[in-house]
Structure 1
Amino acid sequence: MNKRKVVCVCSEFEGGASMTTYTGLSPELARSWWLLSATSDNTGRMAGTRADVAVIDLEDGVAPQRKAFARTVARGILEQGPAWIRINDVRSPYWRDDVEALGELSQLSGVMIAKVDSATDIELVSAALPAPVPLVAFIETAVALEAAREIADHPRVCRLALGSGDLRMDLGAEPGSAILDYARSRLVVASRAAGLPGPIDGPSIVNDEGLVQRETASARSLGMTGRLCLDPAHAALINTVLSPTVDDIAAARATIAQLGSDGANATKGSDIPRLRRAHRTIDLASRFDLI
């Protein structure tokens, strides 16, 4: 297996639309990814957000006639502190202007690339960016889904994300269609095979906390470890669902106590896998400051 360790900074905004602070979480661990338009009034709500990552959107969240203004806003944010940016796809007439607007700014934490269809798309963006930063590739078409492993294998990609709305449109599927769970499973397998963390799921399209909870739990059950949100109020809920519970932690500790930290008391073939899972749970709980 191609195992890669991704070491990069993940930010949350604090003290206004332009200021950020390091959370201690790298993109490989980030659970909630708040996607907000650069032209949205919500940029004023960045202060105090519970999202692990706030991403300034230059793509679908911005009307064509406002792209230039959105880039100016994004650049202003980057001049004040670290931020993630989602740029337009490489088949659009906007992506090169998006990249050029980032200039030589050292505060760029990472880039999400919309509608990635191949590793060639990643290569184009990588070559155009002023500095090497982590990239998250959005899988939003049937073509991209078939190329998911190739995209995940690119050394600059730190994570895959599911563009569920656009993929559903491309496939002609209804909301909640089982084919979207197939797509999620494909991304989970491709990510694991490439040595990446679990992928980031698309957002809930209805602003309902019960639905967000159910859909996030379903994504977690498939192996996804992050989720986009369009409302920052959902970030805390997503973080909770994608984190070990009190019961998970207690069960993990009991397993380690039973089997021994190094598995010295293992007697069955299933014991070592259980032990590894327990250690993983404790490690995540520690990284998320739950213990």
Structure 2
Amino acid sequence: MTTYVSPSPGQKVQADLARSWLLVNAAQPARFQAAEDSAADVVLYDIEDAVAPKDKDRARQHVVDQFSNGHTGWVRINGYGTQWWEQDVTELAKYISHELDGPQENGGLVGVMLAMVESSDHVNETAARLPGVPIVALVETARGLQRINSIAAARGTFRLAFGVGDFRRDTGFGSSPRALAYARSQFTIASKAAMLPAPIDGPTQGTISKNLIQGASIAAEFGFRGKLCLLPEQTATINSGLSPSQEELTWSHDFLADFKKDGGQIRNGSDLPRLSRANSTIELAEALGIEWIRPDSDDYSGTATDPYP
């Protein structure tokens, strides 16, 4: 899989691993610097839902100005079929970064989140207009969820995202994890089947750490590894909640040490999934620059001899 790596404020972590995706209203450029200075893995200049129709052109121009001034970043664009989509892709196509597969030294567009995706054609038409640009397909309606497998399999789809608020408005579902369990599961299953990175969950409201931690925990439980954020203050908590914990890293290192001590041979039916879990946890932590520090206490969740949870 091609990854898109950038040391710029617009994208600090490669997009297939990015945890916090911070939406910043592009009609309010005074907010741009705070977004770039935040802990967000990816800054998304939003010219879609956050922007009133009368401000769309102005918001798009603010993003163009950012790219012209050497900034890099992602943009949430308006849905295919809206009156603004054509203008979005036409203008942004002029600023596609020439270094999509490497470190960003010059300004430009490195990716888009396409709103209101209801068909693979929506993604592919956008990809044709923005060649080489990774597209996160934001699925936000019942119609989109019904077609999520074909959307995930579309050539242009880089990653899936769940537009929780609009989905609830469209369907009448409540906000509880139980009410949205089926929908969230479909994102993860479709992503896995299409060999995409793990999906991105919708945002949690507010800045209360307890709520953000719970929101990240719910996302992780359903196999999501990214989450939309609405405020810069949310990003550090979301990053932490969607990263391997020290307890998980300790379990992983202890399991691998125990496995190696026993000769590195499969001992029972739970070894293969546990081996995969341990290796993937350590690899993810290394990719995210998370250092393993063994907790002072051995009271962590899971041990090297536990059955695979």
TM-score where L is the length of structure 2: 0.86
Partner of 1:66: 55
Q: Deviations over 1:94-125 (max 9, x none)?
A: 11111112142121110100000010101111
* Bigger mean CA offset, 100-109 vs 114-123: 100-109
Offset, 1:169? 0.6
Give 5+ residue unaligned stretches, structure 2: 98-107, 292-309
Q: Does 2:74 match 1:84?
A: yes
Partner of 1:93: 83
> Which aligned segments of 4 or more residues in structure 1 are displaced greater than 2 angstroms?
9-13, 174-179, 205-209, 260-266
Partner of 2:304: none
Aligned length: 278
Q: Does 2:22 match 1:6?
A: no
Offset, 1:177? 5.9
Amino acid at match of 2:255: T
Partner of 1:111: 112
1:9·1:109 contact (CA, 8 Å) conserved in 2? no
Distance 1:220 1:259 in 2: 26
Q: Deviations over 1:145-196 (max 9, x none)?
A: 1111111111221100000000001111223262322111110000011101
Partner of 2:19: 31
Give 5+ residue unaligned stretches, structure 1: 14-19
Offset, 1:207? 3.7
Distance 2:242 2:71 in 1: 27
1:111·1:136 contact (CA, 8 Å) conserved in 2? yes
Question: Which SS does the other structure have where 2:179 is aligned?
Answer: helix
Amino acid at match of 1:99: V
Distance 1:204 1:84 in 2: 20
Offset, 1:266? 2.4
Amino acid at match of 1:120: D
Partner of 2:226: 226
1:10·1:53 contact (CA, 8 Å) conserved in 2? no
Partner of 1:57: 46
- Percent of residue pairs identical: 36
TM-score where L is the length of structure 1: 0.91
2:142·2:167 contact (CA, 8 Å) conserved in 1? yes
- Which structure is larger by alpha-carbon Rg, 1 or 2? 2
> CA 1:89/1:262 → structure 2, altered by over 3 Å: closer, same or farther?
farther
* Bigger mean CA offset, 259-268 vs 224-233: 259-268
Offset, 1:64? 0.2
